[in-house]
Amino acid sequence: MSDILFPVKPEIAATAHVNAEQYKAIYARAATDPAGYWAEECKRIAWMKPPTRILSGDFHGDVRVKWFEDGTLNASVSCLDRHLATRGDQVAIIWESDDPNVSTKITYRQLYEQVCRFANALKVLGVRKGDRVCIYLPMVVEAAVAMLACARLGAAHTVVFGGFSPDSLAQRIKDAGVRVLITADEGRRGGRKVPLKANSDAALRQCPDVHSVVVVKVTGGDVPMQTGRDHDYATLCAAASPDCPPTEMNAEDPLFVLYTSGSTGQPKGALHTTGGYMVWASYTHELVFDYRPGEVYWCTADVGWVTGHTYIVYGPLANGATTLMFEGVPTYPDASRFWQVVDKHQVNIFYTAPTAIRSLMREGEAPVEKTSRKSLRLLGSVGEPINPEAWLWYHRVVGEHRCPIVDTWWQTENGGIMISPLIGAIALKPGSATRPLPGVLPVLVDAEGRELEGEVEGNLCIKAPWPGMMRTVYGDHDRFVQTYFSTYKGYYFTGDGARRDADGYFWITGRVDDVINVAGHRMGTAEVESALVAHPKVAEAAVVGFPHDIKGQGIYAYVTLKVGEEPNDALRKELIAWVRKEIGPIAAPDTLQWAPSLPKTRSGKIMRRILRKIAANETDGLGDTSTLADPSVVKDLIEHRAG
Ligand code: WT7
């Protein structure tokens, strides 16, 4: 824990949306009178029928929380229509290609027209209010168009990250009951091509209900089109009318489903609704990034993750911002790319992940220092704990001591940022997400679910509903209640541990469940394990996270082979490639150790605590191993530790 403090600079406090005094006042107001507070704040988005009933439900019983339940709206109107009169010709999206020589700009009016045309095209394919549509696209403008077009029709989108395998894509399509898929010929990242259409074709062999596929031409690669099923995006849009009235949705109607990993093998579909999510997206984007009209804002996430949903598309567009969408990676063509893009498009606000910072840090200061970065005003971090060393480098080298850093803690389930400094109000401490936003009531609880006071470490829970929270697990409300509200009665349990310091600042210590965070990507160890045991030569597998210099956590797999199978390097490579194919490249183990057997309790439960210690090479403090069925297993694993 670092105890360096960066006080709020007076010139920042003077101009920011929220200063220290205001923070105290609005925090107290939102905590004591949530209905009154959100009745005002919800006016920041466009309603067809403004809500009069603000909040119902709580974290008890079957957890049916509703926000703004008698209000009606369409999310795309807040992002598009209402800006036309005032900023129709302002740039809505700057698109920066993987190729540093290619970028395009699209105005709010142009975006509006593209969304309306594509919505009409989807209508022709049979998409209706209440349907689910799957989007499996690279980082191209059409991804944002597709999301907004679904919203316009009242169909929930489910975006699947382009790095996921055909099997992962198929699993999500089936779970969500998708019948229309939007994809591309190929994606482009770091000079390499991603075979999205080929992956889609492979996935759809398992998904007979998908009757239509829309294919965006991105690379122009030669991909087979199945007559009757596959349609070219541009041809459909050219034939469609540019006039598409928005569908009136209830505030509690679904806006999207986004799959996320938990402690079981099956990802859950986090369902977000329209009114509460949009209010949260706009509110947090404006407050945390202290967004001011005319600024250029860049979030480097992929739209396949919730960060891309809330902070590339819905938040910035609801606030009439200019949002930058980047197709590439931080290190292509070289480690200066981020900062060159910042200069090229005069970016004011920059939001990225600690893993990117750490990988650039390794390349030294020269690639940063050869750029100006004078346009930058505020820097952000998201997705995993940022170590103080990386924070300080980001602050000194990238921001030249000028730009405050907002370390934003939140989750797919939350819809948007929950704990983060507000730059005009809260002094920064490197490595701490600092304090909750007004409207967020975090608590630390002990193993019995008792609230802990003062300076303490505990399980991070949220005590009361906030508008952006997910409402259910798609198709399985019991699982929603079970996963988030049953561990500690009456609280939403985040799955994270945290420490609160003497100033009331939160320091997230990481997951306390079987979820790991690899380069900001959330993964269930159970998912990797089930991929491994699906291999014909594998008898058993146990997967844990271990500390990794760049990725935060790496994936360490212990594998027991079936009797008669020979452990060797070729098989090790084959198994890693197998997981990559089964789930996607992000899930490939960094280290794989052969385990003649796994440490288990007498009741057969794998003792992961021990496996985590061995993977981290902390074999001195293994703790109590006396409950193991066969303690000699541990000795063998330590002796043959990999990596
Ligand atoms: C998990 C959520 C937030 C959108 C991207 C990830 C970890 C996230 C931070 C942070 C420490 C963080 C937590 C959380 N996490 N942000 N600023 N400091 N940890 O969303 O995939 O749903 O993952 O990411 O462990 O539970 P996600």
What pLDDT was estimated at residue 2?
60
pLDDT digits (tens, 9 = 90+) for 64-100: 999 999 999 999 999 999 999 999 999 999 999 999 9
The average confidence (pLDDT) of the chain is 96
Residue nearest to atom 7 of ligand 1 (CA): 384
411 Cβ closer than 6 Å to some ligand 1 atom:
yes
Cα–Cα distance, 43 to 30 (Å, whole number): 15
What pLDDT was estimated at residue 1?
57
Q: How many helices (H) and strands (E) does the chain have?
A: 22, 31
Distance 614 CA to ligand 1 centre (A): 25
Average of pLDDT values for 26-45? 98
Quick check: 438 and 29 in contact, CB under 8 A?
Answer: yes
Residue nearest to atom 19 of ligand 1 (CA): 384
Residue nearest to atom 21 of ligand 1 (CA): 522
- Nearest atom in ligand 1 to 412's CA: 22
- Nearest atom in ligand 1 to 386's CA: 18
194 is known to lie in a ligand binding site: no
52 is known to lie in a ligand binding site: no
384 Cβ closer than 6 Å to some ligand 1 atom:
yes
Cα–Cα distance, 278 to 294 (Å, whole number): 21
323 is known to lie in a ligand binding site: no
Cα–Cα distance, 276 to 298 (Å, whole number): 24
Locus of tokens 């300080």: 392
pLDDT at residue 602 above 90?
no
pLDDT at residue 621 above 80?
no
383 Cβ closer than 6 Å to some ligand 1 atom:
yes
Average of pLDDT values for 266-276? 97
pLDDT digits (tens, 9 = 90+) for 504-515: 999 999 999 999
pLDDT at residue 444 above 70?
yes
Query: ipTM score of the complex?
Result: 0.99
117 Cβ closer than 6 Å to some ligand 1 atom:
no
Residue nearest to atom 23 of ligand 1 (CA): 411
294 is known to lie in a ligand binding site: no
Cα–Cα distance, 90 to 108 (Å, whole number): 6
What pLDDT was estimated at residue 264?
81
Residue 626 pLDDT grade (very low, low, confident, very high; cuts 50, 70, 90)? confident
What pLDDT was estimated at residue 568?
96
**Best of 268, 288, 410 for a ligand 1 pocket test (most atoms within 8 Å of beta carbon):** 410
Q: HEC states along 204-243?
A: HCCCCCCCEEEEECCCCCCCCCCCCCEEEHHHHHHHCCCC
In terms of Cβ atoms closer than 10 Å to its own Cβ (0-12, 13-18, 19+), residue 52 is exposed
**Best of 352, 460, 517 for a ligand 1 pocket test (most atoms within 8 Å of beta carbon):** 517
Distance 518 CA to ligand 1 centre (A): 11
Residue nearest to atom 1 of ligand 1 (CA): 411
Residue nearest to atom 11 of ligand 1 (CA): 385
pLDDT digits (tens, 9 = 90+) for 106-125: 999 999 999 999 999 999 99
**Best of 411, 484, 492 for a ligand 1 pocket test (most atoms within 8 Å of beta carbon):** 411
**Best of 355, 508, 527 for a ligand 1 pocket test (most atoms within 8 Å of beta carbon):** 508
Average of pLDDT values for 174-179? 98
Q: Which of 414, 385, 635, 413 is nearest to 516 (CA)?
A: 385
306 Cβ closer than 6 Å to some ligand 1 atom:
yes
Residue 88 CA, chain-centre distance (Å), reads 29
496 is known to lie in a ligand binding site: yes
Cα–Cα distance, 535 to 575 (Å, whole number): 8
409 is known to lie in a ligand binding site: yes
- Nearest atom in ligand 1 to 419's CA: 17
- Nearest atom in ligand 1 to 433's CA: 17
494 Cβ closer than 6 Å to some ligand 1 atom:
yes
What pLDDT was estimated at residue 630?
86
User: Which conformational region is residue 228 in: left (phi greater than 0), alpha (psi within -120 to 50 degrees), or beta?
Assistant: left
Q: Which two tokens stand for residue 623?
A: 């703790």
302 Cβ closer than 6 Å to some ligand 1 atom:
no
298 is known to lie in a ligand binding site: no
636 is known to lie in a ligand binding site: no
Quick check: 505 and 519 in contact, CB under 8 A?
Answer: no
407 is known to lie in a ligand binding site: yes
List the single range of 166-170, 445-449, 486-490, 635-639 with lowest mean pLDDT.
Answer: 635-639
Distance 500 CA to ligand 1 centre (A): 17
585 is known to lie in a ligand binding site: no
Residue nearest to atom 2 of ligand 1 (CA): 411
Distance 332 CA to ligand 1 centre (A): 25
Residue nearest to atom 10 of ligand 1 (CA): 409
385 is known to lie in a ligand binding site: yes
Q: Which residues pair with 499 in a beta bridge?
A: 457, 507
- Nearest atom in ligand 1 to 413's CA: 22
pLDDT digits (tens, 9 = 90+) for 135-170: 999 999 999 999 999 999 999 999 999 999 999 999
Average of pLDDT values for 619-632? 82
Sign of CA dihedral 32, 33, 35, 38: negative
640 is known to lie in a ligand binding site: no
Cα–Cα distance, 333 to 338 (Å, whole number): 10
| Beta strands at 521-524 and 515-518: parallel, antiparallel or unpaired | antiparallel
Q: Which residues pair with 91 in a beta bridge?
A: 107
Quick check: 328 and 334 in contact, CB under 8 A?
Answer: no
412 Cβ closer than 6 Å to some ligand 1 atom:
yes
Distance 627 CA to ligand 1 centre (A): 33
410 is known to lie in a ligand binding site: yes
420 Cβ closer than 6 Å to some ligand 1 atom:
no
What phi and psi values does residue 77 have, to the nearest 5 degrees? -70, -40
Distance 159 CA to ligand 1 centre (A): 18
Cβ neighbors of 109 (< 8 A, separation 6 or more) are 84, 88, 89
Task: Tell me which amino acid residue 507 is.
Answer: W
Residue 532 pLDDT grade (very low, low, confident, very high; cuts 50, 70, 90)? very high
Q: Which one has a higher pLDDT value, 604 or 66?
A: 66
